[in-house]
A and B are shown apart, each in its own frame.
Chain A
Amino acid sequence: MTASEATLGRRAARETAKRRRARRGQAIAAVSSLIVIGGLIALAVTSPGWPTVRDTFFSWSAFKDSFPDVAKAFWLDIKMFCVIEAAVLVVGMVVALVRTSQAAALFPLRLLAAVFVDVFRGVPVILLVYLVGFGIPALELSGLPSDPIILGGVALTLSYSAYVAEVYRSGIASIHRGQRDAALAIGLTEGQALRHVILPQAVRRVGPPLLNDFIALQKDVALVSILGVVEAFRQAQIISSSTFNYTALVGAALLYLCVTIPLSRVLDRWGIGGRRV
């Protein structure tokens, strides 16, 4: 046996050992998942209340009857989510830009932006929806909207813009000083430096936390139901209270998951693979 053959032999042995370890790892993972998940299912199914739970939460016939109505109402959630999200991205950016501005003349605006963030981030979203939804119409000012869909949307926009403004601001602050120096050195104005150098990098960097807030917003759209808006959650609630069966609510939960899970997977991929700035 020559030296190189010996090396080849050792390498092959190592490869085999590595493959065997990997296979054993997979087998252990599969068995332990089966035990844990199976155990949890068994625990639920063998519980004394299971037959009742199965009939009131997982009834196939109730699901078939309620799902079309819930899904139709969910379309409103989707539309509201899209419009509010677009508004949040714009308002949040404006607030962030005002807060990071340096000009002395903008001081009052900077103060306002700081108060905006403190107040709307500090108040529970559900309370904000309530206050805007019932408070604004109570002013009885002509010209102000009274549609609960719009008022609920405004409340969510205020709350989420405050969060997103801070996300943007952290992104802007994370860009190294040298980038601004280099942008100014090639003769750009402060505004051009922001537009062409700072913001493109900042926005790319905060993609994952932004998407995280999108997912939260997607779920919080259901809060406008307290103003009487019939979106998916509210529709499911109406159906369950008339049929005494909660399967419609499970249907609504599935619909939310259909949107949030794909968004989460995008987020994962972005977080791991998309580090390139």
Chain B
Amino acid sequence: MGDRGQEGLSAPVLEVRGVTKAFGSNEVLHGVDLSVAEHQAVALIGASGSGKSTLLRCIDLLVEIDDGDIFLDGEVITDPSVDAVSIRRRLGLVFQAYNLFPHLTALQNVVLGDRYAHGASREEARERAGRLFARFGLEGREDERPDDLSGGQQQRVAIARAFAGRPRALLLDEVTSALDPELVGEVLQAVRDLKEEGVTMLIATHEMSFAREVADLVAFLHEGRILELGPPDRVLVDPERPETKRFLRRLLEAGRV
């Protein structure tokens, strides 16, 4: 294999270059640069309102960026000529508030995308969804409505739903923030398992100990910019920037570390 092939292999799965986004006069992202390599888990930390959610939504093309570029497997996806639907089919996004479809059963939630976005047959999609239920410890919950499940179960169904489309990368948007404290563990375990299987992930999170354990890299987002990027042991233990130090201190005072 030549150089070109080598290059193709090492290209990051996700690459964000100089992305800016403003909602009216509220500038949320001011030129974000970030990349996530294959099998890597990158944790995105920062205060509420720092732009974490917006960045994930921009990557999944739910929000149109103002400037910059985003690449998926080396291919630009933020060009207006690119079909957003086909890109979203290659990514998975898990929401903070689960956003399960309340009129469908848990299993149907997972089956829907596989059937209609990926063209799987009913049987195929149900079988695959069944396997995901087993994998995320949801056996026996297939026919229950989301409202009848605990928050932790709902979020695991949501992860299974995002994963059912066999995405190149999984985007997790503070997936434990809406959960009661005793339910956080089971969802984090699901993410930990995904990491062990080598799933490429970009994880916006407030769980610093989890970020330290699972992430290969931690990116600190502050006022719409990545101020610090590095291995968790450095960024979370010995940060260089005063903003990062202040942020971590505040979390420590709130008992969140």
Contact = CB atoms under 8 A, between A and B. Distances in A.
B161 A181 contact: no
B224 interface: no
Interface residues of A, number: 20
B113 A181 contact: no
Interface string B45-60: 0000000000001001
Interface in B57-89: 57, 60, 62, 85, 88-89
A182 B97 CA distance: 10
Nearest to B94: A185
B247 to A, nearest CB: 27
B118 interface: yes
A192 B103 contact: no
Contacts, number: 64
Given A192-B116, A192-B117, A196-B112, A185 B102 contact: no
A186 interface: yes
B43 interface: no
Given A186-B162, A186-B164, A187-B85, A178 B99 contact: yes
B95 interface: yes
Contact of A189 (B85, B97, B100, B165): B85
Residue of A178, A184, A187, A189 ringed by the most chain B CB atoms within 10 A: A187
A201 B102 contact: yes
Nearest to B85: A189
A179 B99 contact: yes
B103 A184 contact: no
A188 B116 contact: yes
A181 B99 contact: yes
Provide the main secondary structure of the chain B interface: loop
Contacts of B89: 187
A196 B114 CA distance: 13
B116 A181 contact: no
Contact of A277 (B62, B97, B103, B161): B103
Contacts of A200: 103
A121 interface: no
Interface string A157-187: 0000000000000000000101101111111
A204 B118 contact: no
Contacts of B147: 276
Contact of A201 (B62, B85, B103): B103
A20 B103 CA distance: 43
A197 interface: yes
A185 B62 contact: yes
Contacts of B210: none
Contact of A187 (B100, B101, B117): B117
Contacts of B165: 186-187
Nearest to B93: A185
Given A178-B99, A185-B93, A204-B103, A196 B162 contact: no
Given A187-B88, A276-B145, 8 more contacts: A178-B95, A182-B99, A182-B100, A182-B161, A185-B60, A187-B165, A188-B112, A200-B103
Interface of B: 57, 60, 62, 85, 88-89, 91-93, 95, 97, 99-103, 112-113, 116-118, 145, 147, 161-162, 164-165
13 contacts: A182-B101, A184-B88, A185-B95, A186-B113, A186-B164, A186-B165, A187-B113, A188-B85, A189-B85, A196-B112, A197-B112, A200-B103, A277-B102
Top 8 A-B pairs, shortest CB-CB distance? A187-B117, A186-B113, A187-B89, A182-B99, A178-B99, A185-B93, A187-B88, A200-B103
